[in-house]
Amino acid sequence: MYLLLKFVLSAAIVVAVSEIARRSTFIGALVASLPLTSVLAMIWLYHEGGDASRVAGLSREVFWLVLPSLLLFVTLPWFIRRGLSFYPALGLAIGCTTLGYGVMSVLLRRLGA
């Protein structure tokens, strides 16, 4: 039952964002930019183990991985403005983001983070 609750609540957030964005892209972007997924993951992690240090670790790692995820939001509109249609632009933006995650992963390992 608990797992079902996690699925339903997470799915509801995605559906809500897409419905809100149909009416206002700004409000949709505002809701999408909220760290709801991270907050839910922290709540689930704490609820399942009661270990605040694991939650702190998750929070720290999410911070560092948000940085390369920003590449998606920079490159997608750039590719679209250059004349690419949506799906190719999205694919390239995801590729850039994936590359960014790889670079960040190497940097974090080298820095011992």
pLDDT in tens, the chain (113 residues): 878 888 898 888 889 989 999 999 888 888 888 888 888 889 989 998 888 999 999 999 899 999 999 999 999 999 999 999 999 999 999 999 999 999 999 999 998 87
> What distance lies between CA 47 and its chain's CA centroid?
21
The pTM of the full predicted model, rounded to 2 decimals, is 0.74
How far apart are the C-alpha atoms of 15 and 55, rounded to whole Å? 26
Hey, what amino acid is at 63? Answer: F
Containing structural domain, residue 106: 52-113
**Are the CB atoms for 58 and 87 separated by under 8 Å?**
no
Domains contained in the chain, number: 1
- For residue 6, being part of any structural domain is answered with no
- For residue 29, being part of any structural domain is answered with no
- For residue 27, being part of any structural domain is answered with no
- For residue 13, being part of any structural domain is answered with no
